[in-house]
Chain A
């Protein structure tokens, strides 16, 4: 399978990439690692007339500690996130999720910015950035703006990015206090994407769940925060029985996806199972 012919542009700077996006408008696509875009182009689901390669913008490959925020450049590879000592120590749930993406070869090419911009409803990072209340920094012709993760995902493969904007950075606040977090994923046996992926972040104070955030991917047409489970836990005793009871409410009020591999009912059931596993692991880590 060979993509349709296109004109290739290699951006030498973020500004140049944005200029090219402005120039070619809807006919252009940005190429980062290419591990979502190239397969789509090979299948000719995507047929951009102009491909703007940002893969050499090394200034967008970094992981920096800025006080209580970890700033991750958009072109940082999944593998780099998975192996980063900073990420593993300060936001282990993010490293865990990165490590569960695809396989070694995919993690060697795929980027965090590409995964978020692509917004596959079964991708791993979206659940984690929602649960961590991360911010996505986009740059366009008018400069930079910051988008909260919860405002970023708008539907399957749809985000709040403007066509002339690039993701340049992801800013992840480091959870404070006695916080434990975990990502639990049920991968599709063939594709490796999440049939159900659950990210949980739990802060415990005086044996009480002071703050709790639960987010899912794979379950519905877009990743979401599960406020029903969160409300069932916030202010309650931080123990196993409470967590198990709260997890039973997973995906309430959500219409789960159903397909040949996993029916809607099965996904709903698995959402409960994976919420329980992620929350119990987060609880153990918090205490």
Chain B
């Protein structure tokens, strides 16, 4: 089955089996291994990508369901060699240890900040319900997202 998508702004077309999961399509067909597979059972959120702007768990979607969509993965966050504010937040606030959950955490944070420019700490914690981290205890992740929110608001105000 032919699947055509845009990933991080670039068009891709592949012939695949309908049973191929989106996460395998991204990693194995397109070589975009920034999207991780953690649990493979829809629980951990490591595989989160944005599908037409919405955060989804790519281990729980068939690639054929994404046919025609615009997909954003962690590889698409930085622009012209400059980190995205969410990436910068994780860097500055030490939002990761092993880094396994990080791509999923960042993609969810991007969706959150598109919808809520100034989320409270509590709102961030609620939003992260579907993303598990076994290292940080979440505190630094929450700080990282607060940092990114602030940064994004500043950039918006100055432009």
Contact = CB atoms under 8 A, between A and B. Distances in A.
Contact of A104 (B24, B61, B130): B130
Given A5-B19, A8-B18, A103-B130, A108 B1 contact: no
B108 interface: yes
A41 B42 CA distance: 13
B40 interface: yes
Interface residues of B, number: 28
Interface stretch (B4-12, B48-56, B84-92, B144-152): B48-56
Interface stretch (A31-39, A66-74, A155-163, A201-209): A31-39
Q: Interface size bucket, A side?
A: 20 to 34
B64 interface: yes
B19 A106 contact: no
A8 to B, nearest CB: 3
Contact of A34 (B18, B40, B41, B61): B61
A108 B42 contact: no
A104 B127 contact: yes
B25 to A, nearest CB: 12
B15 interface: no
Given A102-B130, A104-B111, A108-B56, A39 B42 contact: yes
Contact of B55 (A2, A104, A192): A104
9 contacts: A1-B41, A2-B21, A3-B19, A8-B1, A39-B42, A53-B65, A55-B65, A104-B108, A108-B56
Interface of A: 1-8, 10, 31, 34-35, 38-39, 41-42, 51, 53, 55, 102-106, 108-109, 190-192
A103 B40 contact: no
B32 interface: no
Nearest to A10: B64
A77 B14 CA distance: 28
Interface string B80-112: 000000000000000000000000000010010
A105 B48 contact: yes
A105 B20 CA distance: 19
A34 B20 CA distance: 13
Given A4-B19, A8-B64, A35-B60, A105 B41 contact: no
Interface string B40-73: 1111010010000011110011101100000000
A10 B55 CA distance: 23
Nearest to B60: A38
B17 interface: yes
Given A5-B17, A103-B130, A105-B56, 16 more contacts: A2-B19, A3-B19, A4-B19, A5-B18, A5-B19, A8-B18, A34-B62, A38-B21, A42-B40, A102-B130, A103-B131, A104-B130, A105-B45, A105-B130, A108-B56, A190-B43
Contacts of A106: 42, 57, 130
B129 interface: yes
Interface of B: 1, 17-21, 24, 40-43, 45, 48, 54-57, 60-62, 64-65, 108, 111, 127, 129-131
Nearest to B130: A103
Given A39-B41, A103-B45, A109-B60, A7 B18 contact: yes
Nearest to B126: A104
A49 to B, nearest CB: 12
Nearest to A5: B19
Nearest to B19: A3
A103 B61 contact: no
Closest 6 CB pairs of A and B: A103-B130, A8-B18, A103-B129, A108-B54, A3-B19, A105-B57
A10 B2 CA distance: 12
Given A42-B40, A104-B129, A108-B55, A6 B18 contact: yes
Contacts of A38: 21, 60-62
**Considering residues A8, A41, A104, which has the most beta carbons from chain B within 10 angstroms of its beta carbon?**
A104
A176 B131 CA distance: 40
Contacts of B21: 2, 38, 42
Given A42-B40, A102-B130, A103-B129, A6 B19 contact: yes
A38 B64 CA distance: 12
